[in-house]
Each structure stands twice: as structure tokens, then as C-alpha cells.
Amino acid sequence: MLSRLKVISEQHSLSLSLTLIYLLSLILSSLFLVVWLNWQVSEDGQRGLQRLEHFIDQTRETLQQITQQHEYINCSAQTITELRQHVFLSSRLKEVGLMDQNHRIYCVSNAGPVNFKLYPETRKRLADSTNDMTLSLTKAKMSQSRSLFIYYQAKDGMGADALLRPQTFLDITRRELNHRDLLLDVQVIGKSLNEQEQRKQEPVKSYQFESRHYPLTLRLCITDDYLIWYLVKHSWLGLLIGSLFSILYMHNRLRRLSRNSLSSSLIRAIRKKELEVYLQPIFDQRNQQICGAEALMRWKHPEEGFISPGIFIPLAEQLGLIEDLTDLVLDQVSELILKHPELIHNRYISVNISRLHLLQNNLADQLRRRCQKMPELARHLLLEITEDTPFTEAEVQHIIQQLEHIQSAGIRLAVDDFGTGYSSLDFIRRFPFDLLKIDRVFINSLGKEAAIEPMLEAIVRLSDELNMTIIAEGIEQQDQADKLAQLNIFLLQGFLLARPMPEHDFITLLQQHAHDPEQAAPLSDVMT
């Protein structure tokens, strides 16, 4: 029952988390979309106003041309025909007319001779204009229909005008808008061309763009309906962001659950001693004999299969289980030596010890007690000190004291991964190690990088001066072994020679070498 409640609780927690992720994603994407819409509307407004001004400038050129063609006050049949030709050639002009120096329209393309004077306000705007033009919006008394006029007056006082439908300005502007469903209005001398639509809907936000050349204002409005439609249309963005974050959340959650599950499994596996030691032989290529082996822990998870040591060893350190893991390795190595003394008698087994483990005060005492219970263990055991973390001076001093206690028990010590760890040179300078293991990084680059061979020669000279034996690990190709032999490096470990193997396979391999007439060199001879 409790297990079922726990599952239900976890499912509810997962559903709630995913709901919150999608909700926050939709909110954030909506905020972004609103900002983006504001920017686009602003760009649309500027572009629409420029296009409208450009149209008025083109109309000005047409009116200027008409004025120049009719310098004298005349409304003959030919004049009317010429005016009608201008209207015919334009898709937007409905009528053009001629104006005299007294601001009197005397001839128009539709009705011919007329006689009406511009309103005083229009005349004043025309006189004050810097580009000899102005606009006017009028309404007929009877029909209430509105007309839009563009007036031009030349320097000599003569001029022309053009009649347009008010909808023309709205159409020209709307074609420039990316968001054509926005509420659009154009105001001429403060009068709206789209006042009916303005009354129907209350805008959420409005933008005004004033012309610097004409009595013209462009107004764009975002309404509630349009904003909702826009956000719904682009809701895929929030769903996409929510999906991406949900995938990341699920990935991290599964990794965390897997890690927690792996932690529990590791604790159980160490407690039940389910981890197994694999051994990778170390060969002396001078006689092709096995002089020792490195003990490598392997963990076969009942469900996940083999778990990489690169995963469970750091996990053991985080969980504070590295001491238990080391004890498990030492137990299996001790048992191997006890069961097969005739095969191990002139060989050694190396065990990796983290420098972090050396900071614990009881490691040296535990090893000494093991050697007291099993005296033959010390001469067959080699501890490889892994340089995996940097330490303070006080910690280094403590580690050196631990190593001295271990070495006094007759256990040999090696520096693992020499050249790639933390303070390798300083470490071997301050403590007399027995062996030095060259990291596979150098071996992989041997023959590929010119600097590697001189570096290995320097390491050989250093080991000779410090009376240390060298082991090269990571040997995968014969030419690597040949070049190392030329450098007087003879102890090799790697896939070329043998892969890590279970204990029974290792014993079988030792038995095969035991029948060889050429026996392996004693351990003391190998470690000169």
C-alpha cells in the first residue's frame, strides 16, 4: 500500500512539475511575443508612413507637371481633356483641377469650368507649408460623404489639386503592414479617415506616427481580439520551449533517479561482495613472461550489465565507500595469493589506492594488520598511488607519513599515471617509490608527436637516478612495444599483450607460463 502511494505521489509530482514548466514557458513566450509584436508594429508604422509620404510626393510631381502645362487661366475643352488624361493614367486620382493665384479652383477634370475658393484654413496651411503642399479632408453637407484633397501651389501662385477617396490612404498604408489585421487609422489635419472602426473597438495599446512634411498622422492599434489571436497563433513557440525544457527536466530527473538507484545498488553490491576483481597481466618483453598483474575492480549490475569503473569508483568516493571498495579488492587479492602460492610466488599483484584514501589515518594500520595475519602478502602486493586530486602541503605531509608506514611493512609502492596527475615530479622527489607507471597518454602519442620520445628518455634517466622500475601501460600496437624496448622500457601492460580477465582465466594463463621452460624473473630482479 505504501509503495503504491509512493508511486502515485511521484507521478503527481512529475505531472505538476511538467505542468509548471509548460505554464512558465507559455508565460515567458507570451511576454516575448508581446515585446516582439510591439517592435514589429513600430516598424510597420514607420514603413507605412514613409510609403504614404512617398505617394503624396509622387502626387505633388503630377500636380506640378499639370501646373506647368497650364500657365494661363483657361478651361477650354482641350484643357479639360488633358486633365482627364492625368486622371485616366492614375489608378488612385478621381479628379484633378487647376487653381489660380487667388486660391480659386476654376477648372476640374470632371465638371469643367467651376468657381470656388479654398477655405481660409486650407489657404493658411498652404501658405505656411515648406513644400508648397497641403492636405484637406472635407465632408459634403447633403450626402455626408468625405473627400480627400491634395493641394499644390507653385512660386508664381498658380497651382493644382487632386481629389482622392479617403480609403486610398488606408489601402496604401495597409499594404506595408506585416500585421494587416491591426486597427489602422490615418488622420488628416486631425480628422480620422477610419472613425467608424475606431468607435467599434477599444485598443489595448496604440502607436502614433507623425509626418514631418504633411498634416498627417498614422495610428496603429492593438485590440484585445487581435492580441489574443496573435498569441494563440504563435503559441507553438511556448509549447516548443516547454517541450525542450521538459525533455531536459526528464533527462536530469532520470539521471538523478538512476544515480540514486545506482548508489543504492553500489552500496548493496559492496555489502554483498558482488564486485569482482579482474586482472590484467604485466609482461616482461625481454622473456615474454608475466611478472605481475594489476587488480581492476569490475561490477556487473544485475539489470544494467557492466558498469564502467569511471562511473562507480567516483560514485564510491562521493558516498564515502572507497575504503570499503579497497578492502574488497584486497580481500580478493589476498585470497588469490593464498589459493595459488605456487603460481604467484615470484610475481606481484598491484592494487590502486587513491591519494584521497591515503588521507584516512587508518589505512596504513589496516595494511600492516593484513600483513601480520598473512606475512606472504607484503612481498606480493604493490600499491599504485593514483594522483587524482590536488592537495595542500599539510595533506601531502600526512600522505608521505602514511606511505612510510606502508613501506616499512614491506609493501612496494608505485606512482600511477605518471606525468598526467597533480605534482608528479614533486611527489617522487619527496618519497622513494619503487615503480613508476607511465600514463597511456604518452604511449598513444609515441611515434606521432616528436616531443614524446625525448620526454620518455628523460623519464628513463629520472627512474635510473631514483632507482625506480618503469612500467608502460596502454600498449595496443607492436611498434609501441618495439620503440619502448629501444628506450630500455621492458615492463608492458595493455590490450596488445592481454586484456583484463577474470581470476580463473588469469590462473589458466599463469599455468600455461608455468609449463614454459623459461620461468619469470623474480620480483626482486624486476624491481631493480
- Answer yes or no: do 134 and 279 share one domain: no
pLDDT at position 299: 92
Classify residue 209: in a domain, yes or no: yes
Contacts of 406 (CB under 8 A, 6+ apart): 363, 364, 367, 368, 383, 413
- Answer yes or no: do 92 and 184 share one domain: yes
Which residue is it, cell 475606431? 198
The whole-angstrom separation of Cα 73 and Cα 96 is: 15
Number of independent structural domains in the chain = 2
Classify residue 245: in a domain, yes or no: no
- Answer yes or no: do 437 and 328 share one domain: yes
- Answer yes or no: do 63 and 121 share one domain: yes
- Answer yes or no: do 282 and 388 share one domain: yes
pLDDT at position 290: 94
- Answer yes or no: do 487 and 434 share one domain: yes
* One pLDDT digit (tens) per residue for the chain, 528 residues: 433 444 455 556 667 877 888 888 888 888 888 888 889 888 898 999 999 999 999 999 999 999 988 888 889 899 999 999 999 988 889 999 999 999 999 999 988 899 989 989 989 988 888 888 999 988 765 556 788 999 999 988 899 999 999 888 988 888 888 777 788 889 998 888 887 666 666 777 888 999 988 999 999 888 888 888 888 888 888 888 888 888 888 878 777 665 557 788 888 888 888 899 999 999 999 999 999 999 999 998 877 788 888 888 888 888 888 889 999 999 999 999 999 999 988 899 999 988 778 887 788 889 999 999 999 999 999 999 876 667 788 888 888 899 999 999 999 999 988 876 554 677 788 888 999 999 888 898 888 888 889 999 999 998 999 899 999 999 999 999 999 999 999 999 999 999 999 999 999 999 988 654 345 444 445 554
> Do 489 and 460 form a contact (C-beta atoms < 8 A)?
yes
Burial class (CB in 10 A: 0-12, 13-18, 19+), 302: exposed
Considering Cα of 110, then 116, then 121, then 123, what sign does the dihedral take? positive
> Do 103 and 126 form a contact (C-beta atoms < 8 A)?
yes
- Answer yes or no: do 308 and 429 share one domain: yes
The whole-angstrom separation of Cα 176 and Cα 188 is: 19
Residue 354 belongs to domain spanning = 257-526
The whole-angstrom separation of Cα 334 and Cα 381 is: 9
Check residue 258 and give left, alpha or beta (phi > 0: left; psi -120 to 50: alpha).
alpha
pLDDT at position 358: 84
- Answer yes or no: do 283 and 199 share one domain: no
The whole-angstrom separation of Cα 399 and Cα 361 is: 9
The whole-angstrom separation of Cα 222 and Cα 37 is: 9
- How far, in Å, are 142, 370, 430, 521 from residue 341 at the CA level? 124, 17, 35, 16
CATH code: domain of residue 135: 3.30.450.20
Q: How many angstroms from the chain centroid is the CA of residue 358? A: 39
Give the containing element (helix H, strand E) for 246. helix 235-271
Q: Write the DSSP symbol of residue 219.
A: E
